[in-house]
Amino acid sequence: MNRDEVLARAQDYIEHESDLFFANEVRNLIQQENWKELEDRFYRDLEFGTGGLRGIIGGGYNRMNTLVVTRATQGLCDYLKEQFPTKPLSAVIAFDSRRKSKEFSLATALVFAANGIKAYLFSSLRPTPELSYAIRKLGADTGVVVTASHNPPQYNGYKAYWNDGSQVVPPHDTGIIDKVLRVKSVRLMTETEARARGLLVSIDKEIDDAYVAMVKSHLFRPNLFSTLGSSVNIVYTPLHGTGAMLFERIMKELGLNVLTVPEQREPNGEFPTVSYPNPEESAALSMAIELGKKTKADVVMATDPDADRLGIAVPDGKGGFVLVTGNQLGSLHLDYIAHSLKELGKMPPHPAAIRSIVTTEFQKAIAEHYGVKSLECLTGFKWIADLMRTFERDGLDFIYGTEESYGHLIETETRDKDGISAAAITAEMTLYWRSKGFSLLDRLEELYREFGYYEEKGLSFFFEGEQGMKIMKDIMNSYRQSRPMHFGGLRVIWSRDIELGTEWDSRGERSCADLPQSDVIQWRLEDGTLLTVRPSGTEPKIKYYILCHENGGDLAANKNITKQKIAQIEADIRAVIAANRA
């Protein structure tokens, strides 16, 4: 994009942006002739990915700001009216603790109101899973949560939901984007007028109470809390986000002792105590773990800023704590849920669990052991919700859904990952295995001895700006053109290109359409290792997932073998990245 094109788009943006804070940012960049920054802000429009809109907060079409948010909402309104031309429409809006989240959420609500769509707006910040729950509870037609989940503080985002409480999927996501691109003007209404006309309604306690009751209803053994709950100490951190209010309330009502990290309890979009508010990162849990050591906690729990992800750490028996990965916690959940359903005689007729294609295959082994069907879907929890819709059609009984990035879903009343309900079931699971003389690590080791050792590793490589997008595209194209036959010295015996809808093995290439089209390539290696690569749908990075399994010797030997294999595969991946960066 040349300077004239950048300048034209920048001036167009200034003309249409109602928020002077963002408009003046762009004016200043033009005056400074900061063409590099201007190009990054205008070389593309933010697009819906696996989590909707997400980007750096600031002025420009490739940034999160009031104009981008209101145009997205206007397009969503136009699409809803096209889909439901005669129906009175309503929407639910929630927001987290990030910069500008409250402002963006109100702007979103007022666009809905101006389009005659009744907007239910939470009176203060709430977790993302409660937004999903509220859509279903209120019978709304859509919903929006303003959040960038676990991204750094300079980011914010906008997740759009459909009437079943799930994030939008095809054809709705592309349909909405098409409408957004056609938006010429945005309808707006003042807050005073919207409230006077009943088009803007505040919600809070009535949804909170119903959501809390729902979470508690999915516990299997409430008696465990009355008999053992007071003996368990939980250290918790919401990482300056939305989780504390509901987490603390539920745990208190269950009779558990919770100590929240005081420095991280209050909402703060600057996330001053962490560089990256993501429970996947060990550094994000460091303060909680230190508090856990001092107080001899039985488990440390952390939710990300919008409380849809849960991470935990547990005592290692040597005075320290060990982080439990998302894959491991999901496997423990599935084992506990299936075990409980079977033990209590509550296993449904056609039980099924869902995992993403980059989530550990350990879960498939566990599911099949209990007679549970294990199904896979694309990365992104909206695809788990999409499969749940087919369950309702096909007569399958959902019992659990998860993805490796610390997302877990216990219930059907919510159609997005839920860190709050995951925390509640984790607390009960901890009590249950304690009553049997096991810690969570003991149970995990027992499962490894039964099914073999599974280890997974994720790698992320960032490529910023327009040139970065080109590099990531080149990497994916090179894999498609060269078709690698070895990784880490191991032969490729099968591959699948989900974007092209093809797969290959020793019998040759053929079409496969078992998953929606997505820019993802997978390879199965001769030892069973599954390797996946995909560009992120929400961040400027390309991601690799190595899923390794070893069942040849004792547990210690299996662990060493998998670590060596992963290291060799990682070396090959890094060589490709280095060559493309050069």
Q: Is 251 helix (H, G, I), strand (E, B) or coil?
A: helix
Q: Which amino acid is at 188?
A: L
- Partners of 57 in the β-ladder: 64
Q: Kindly report the backbone phi and psi dihedral angles of residue 357, in degrees, each rounded to the nearest multiple of 5, phi listed first.
A: -70, -10
Q: How many Å apart are CA 402 and CA 175, to the nearest integer?
A: 27
- Partners of 533 in the β-ladder: 521, 544
**Contact at 8 Å (CB) between 66 and 23?**
no
Residues with catalytic function: 149
Q: What is the CA radius of gyration of the chain?
A: 24
State both tokens at 470: 């080109």
- Give the other-Cβ count within 10 Å of 55's Cβ: 26
Residue (of 167, 122, 419) closest to 280 by Cα position: 419
| Residue 144 Cα distances to 70, 91, 170, 171, angstroms | 12, 8, 17, 18
Only one residue has tokens 């089209």, namely: 517
DSSP class per residue in 517-549: --S-EEEEETTS-EEEEEE-SSSSEEEEEEEEE
Q: Kindly report the backbone phi and psi dihedral angles of residue 203, in degrees, each rounded to the nearest multiple of 5, phi listed first.
A: -130, 150
Q: Tell me the three-class secondary structure of 27-38, residue by residue.
A: HHHHHHCCHHHH
Q: How many Å apart are CA 258 and CA 530, to the nearest integer?
A: 39
* Residue 508 neighbours by CB under 8 Å, 6+ apart: none
Residue (of 544, 500, 558, 548) closest to 524 by Cα position: 548
Q: Which amino acid is at 243?
A: G
Q: How many Å apart are CA 231 and CA 217, to the nearest integer?
A: 22
Task: Measure the CA angle with vertex 542, ends 59 and 486; round to 5°.
Answer: 170
Q: How many Å apart are CA 78 and CA 122, to the nearest integer?
A: 23
Q: Based on the number of CB atoms within 10 Å of its own CB, is 397 exposed (0-12), middle (13-18) or buried (19 or more)?
A: middle
Q: Is 339 helix (H, G, I), strand (E, B) or coil?
A: helix
